[in-house]
Amino acid sequence: MGEEFGRLFETFERTAFRLETLDVYDIEEEREEIARFLAGADMGPEWADNPWVRSMTDKGKRVSRVHVLRSPLTDYLRYELSAYPGNIKAGEDIGIIDLTEQAVAGLADHDFWLFDDRDVYRMHYTEAGAFVGGELLSPDRLTEYRGYRDRALTAAVPFAAYWERHR
């Protein structure tokens, strides 16, 4: 499912929205980078302008996410949020909902991607945060997941405002 899911980022036409809910993601490809970050090392040019995001936004596609989290931030979240300015420079819209600062009802308690407002993939992870796969949900779930997206976007604080207070 990994390669097939990965192709979705090349084939969506207009919009990709992500809701993130985990405090830690165990992504093998990020482990070395996280260690460098935690050691205070230079993160390199891709950190300042994310090429993966730019590969989509340069084609006129809109990429956005809301990350639902709780303070204090885990080491992983400090790493991930420190990378967000490079994603934003590349064109991604990012909002934060910190549940220690505001209660928001009616959000999904799991990660998902919504592509072109018509295909929703529920993301599955192990308890340790390793990606297991994305499950394409049936079209009758679209209204539910559009509602989750809309509530998240309405409640989210723009990343820059959040980061200014929490960096």
Mind listing the pLDDT tens digit for each residue in 125-158?
Answer: 999 999 999 999 999 999 999 999 999 999 999 9
pLDDT reported for residue 1: 47
Both tokens assigned to 60: 């006129």
Task: Convert the pLDDT of each residue in 64-89 to its tens digit.
Answer: 999 999 999 999 999 999 999 999 99
DSSP state of 140: G
Instruction: State the average pLDDT for the chain.
Output: 94
Mean pLDDT of 103-122: 97
Domain count for the chain: 1
Q: Tell me the backbone φ, ψ of residue 120, rounded to 5 degrees.
A: -115, 130
Q: Is residue 5 predicted with pLDDT exceeding 90?
A: no
User: pTM of the entire structure?
Assistant: 0.94
Task: Convert the pLDDT of each residue in 34-51 to its tens digit.
Answer: 999 999 999 988 899 999
The CATH code of the domain that includes 150 is 3.30.870.10
Quote the crossing angle between the two packed helices 75-89 and 159-166, to the nearest 10°. Answer: 140
pLDDT reported for residue 2: 63
Q: Residue 157 pairs with which residues in a beta bridge?
A: 96
Distance CA(99)–CA(104), nearest Å, equals 7
Distance CA(141)–CA(158), nearest Å, equals 27
Q: Which residues of 13-25 are buried (b: 16+ CB within 10 A; e: fewer)?
A: eeebbbbbbbeeb
Q: Can you give the residue range of the structural domain that contains 14?
A: 2-166
